[in-house]
Amino acid sequence: MARARLNSGNAQAEELPKAKINKDSIKQVMRLLKYLRPYRTKFFLGFACLILSSASTFLFPLLLGRLIGNGVQAGQSTKMVPNEILDVFPTEINSVALILMAVLFIQSVFSFFRINLFVEVAEKGLADIRRDTYHKLITLPMNFFSQRRVGELNSRLSADLSQIQDAITTTLAEMIRQIITFTGGIIFLVLVSGKLTLMLLAVLPVLVTVGVIFGRFIRKLSRQAQDKLAESNTIVEETLHGISNVKAFVNESFEVNRYNKSIREVVNIAMRGAKFRGVFASFIIFCLFGAIVSVVWYGSHLVQNGEISLSSMVTFILLSTFVGAAMGSFPELYATMQKAVGASERVLEILAEVNEPIFMDEEKNAISRKIEGNLEFKDVKFAYPSRKEITVLNGVSFKAGKGEKVAIIGPSGAGKSTIAGLILRFYDAQDGSILFDGSASDNYSLTDIRKQVAIVPQDVLLFGGTIRENIAYGRLNASEEDIITAAKRANAHDFICGFPESYDTMVGERGIKLSGGQRQRIAIARALLKDPAILILDEATSSLDSESERLVQEALEELMKNRTSIIIAHRLSTIREADKIVVLEKGKVVESGNHSELMNNEEGLYRYLSQLQLESQETKTE
């Protein structure tokens, strides 16, 4: 348990996995971009605003450099050195300032529309992806869920799609903007001063490379510190959960020392990271400002020699900051895009899965072929796809006529619950056949089978809404009168009316606010509302107290009236009145008959299990 919690904590601290960006990965991502097609007009408008706002960015350093340089040179009455780039702008200070303000206003307008358009396109596109991913998830076969964890699947809809969302709304636009800034900045730098550009390009890549390497190393130390912190938090969680054991064994000092050792390791890693961050900060401060000083020093010499004007030098310095910032942002933007590509690939894996043929249109999902209630298993063999080497059912055969009660019993692992899954076609048998009214189950649609078969499991799952909503889940268009009638037949109406909110009572997550017997009776009411031809009761009363069992058993008797019932049970006292009892052992039918017939078989498994349970009950009574 400790290791599981620790792994959980570490998993939260880890970053999303990255994927290499190559031709194949780009093709994968392009499949997701089809979701942007309905909004392509707004996307291209936003893209146009992005290009225009990025292009107008260059006018800011050019005009600002012109403004500063002209002001200083005019005040000093120095000779203006011509520059083709800057000479296209007015020389009068007020005119330059007005143009600069106009450029800033235009840029802010483009930026506003760029952000709004990109966010609208991304949000609507991501909503469509979320819808289709969720649709795909809930229509996938049970085999898919048996090999996945719920947390992993939930991560696809939350963390992965959020990563894609950030990439489309922010990262992609920012990367394009920085590419335009970097490319255009280099071009303008060369046009302003080729000599200063050569000097800058000799220094800037080295600074950025060292910064990226340092940054990765520091992030690695930061993740190590997060892992250790998660470990220390696990100690606290375990200790508080098991506080009675800690106190019973007088191990308070041991736990304090264990926690102290863990947090000291966090401190050591943090201090190590602080040292490297300090070195990195010192390096950046020295080298970055050193590079600026070098450029200014060299530019000053060029100004003195009359090779460039002061305006050109100021413009060059401002442009170089834009280029440096763009170059420095590339590694982080690229890493974010890698994570987005990785997230896209995992989402596409789900979208590529083959789902069950279930329609979202309720009219298309209407029952097209009625089932009367006759059920037959004919030499059925089955192994779960995730464990193909283990045969769960091996040549199982039995019949259940319309309206009959057939009980399935046997030791744990005999394959009883597997039969329930096969009836509902959660899985398909590898060999043999399952017949409804004499026709193979393959001849019926999944909708026809599942709308006419209901199951009341041992562990009832209620959704976190109201009691009314949970009962109505059996038939979504049920009237209030139908819901109340079903509740009365399930012995649930009285306890429901005992709540202040009656049928509007919130049941809580998984029905936690209700007792086990109350949850079972709501599940029975739900099944009654569905009015199935075939009913499956999977250990429906095994975990209830005597009074709850009596009420639930009465509700079950009402539910089983005039319908085929498959009763899966451990407690043999609940199935004595069954028309037929099928005894399973190691996936095979070893006995079949009614209670009296099976009890007369002195060597039979049913009689042996009955005697064991009788002896167990007598022991408890004593």
State pLDDT tens for residues 465-480: 888 888 888 888 888 8
φ, ψ at 149 (rounded to 5°): -95, 150
43 and 164: one domain? yes
pLDDT higher at 49 or 357 = 49
45 located within any domain: yes
289 and 394: one domain? no
User: What's the CA gap between 177 and 90, in Å, rounded?
Assistant: 28
Q: Is the pLDDT of residue 230 over 50?
A: yes
pLDDT value of residue 82? 45
577 and 613: one domain? yes
- Cα torsion 110, 116, 118, 121 to 10°: value is -140
pLDDT value of residue 14? 43
pLDDT value of residue 3? 38
User: What's the CA gap between 336 and 52, in Å, rounded?
Assistant: 24
At position 225, the amino acid (one-letter code) is A
555 located within any domain: no
Q: Which residue has the tokens 């107290």?
A: 545
Distances (CA, A) of 185 to 84, 162, 188, 290, 291: 16, 32, 5, 21, 17
204 and 91: one domain? no
Please state whether 376 falls in left (phi above 0), alpha (psi between -120 and 50) or beta: beta
Full DSSP string of 113-136: HHHHHHHHHHHHHHHHHHHHHHHH
pLDDT value of residue 512? 65
Q: Is the pLDDT of residue 1 over 60?
A: no
Could you tell me the CATH number of the domain that includes residue 611?
A: 3.40.50.300
240 and 130: one domain? no
Q: State how beta strands 375-382 and 431-436 pair.
A: antiparallel
pLDDT band at 75 (very low <50, low <70, confident <90, very high): very low
Most confident of 91-105, 374-388, 512-526: 374-388
99 and 242: one domain? no
525 located within any domain: no
pLDDT higher at 22 or 240 = 240
pLDDT value of residue 4? 39
Averaged over 215-222, what is the pLDDT? 69
Tallying the residues shown for the chain, one arrives at 622
276 and 423: one domain? no
538 located within any domain: no
444 located within any domain: yes
Q: Is the pLDDT of residue 573 over 70?
A: no
128 located within any domain: yes
User: What's the CA gap between 219 and 273, in Å, rounded?
Assistant: 9
321-350 tens-digit pLDDT: 777 777 767 777 777 777 777 777 777 777
Could you count the other beta carbons within 10 Å of the beta carbon of residue 406?
Answer: 21
How many domains are there within the chain? 3
339 and 419: one domain? no
Could you tell me the CATH number of the domain that includes residue 168?
A: 1.20.1560.10
177-201 tens-digit pLDDT: 788 877 877 777 777 777 777 777 7
Averaged over 607-615, what is the pLDDT? 71
pLDDT band at 586 (very low <50, low <70, confident <90, very high): confident
Which long-range contacts link 136-140 to residues 24+ away (Cβ below 8 Å)? Answer: 136/350, 136/351, 136/353, 136/355, 137/350, 139/355, 139/356, 139/358, 140/350, 140/353, 140/355, 140/356
Domain range spanning residue 573? 372-452+563-622
143 and 263: one domain? no
181 and 270: one domain? no
Secondary structure string (H, E, C) spanning 44-89: HHHHHHHHHHHHHHCHHHHHHHHHHHHHHHHHHCCCCCCCCCHHHC
Lowest mean pLDDT among 58-72, 168-182, 336-350, 372-386: 58-72
pLDDT value of residue 84? 47
57 and 158: one domain? yes
534-552 tens-digit pLDDT: 888 887 665 555 666 677 7
188 and 256: one domain? no
391 located within any domain: yes
Averaged over 302-312, what is the pLDDT? 72
9 located within any domain: no
Q: Which residues neighbour 314 within 8 Å (Cβ) at sequence distance 6 or greater? A: 64, 65, 68, 69
Q: Which residue has the tokens 């894996």?
A: 349
Residue whose C-alpha is closest to residue 192's, from 273, 97, 81, 301: 81
User: What's the CA gap between 578 and 567, in Å, rounded?
Assistant: 8
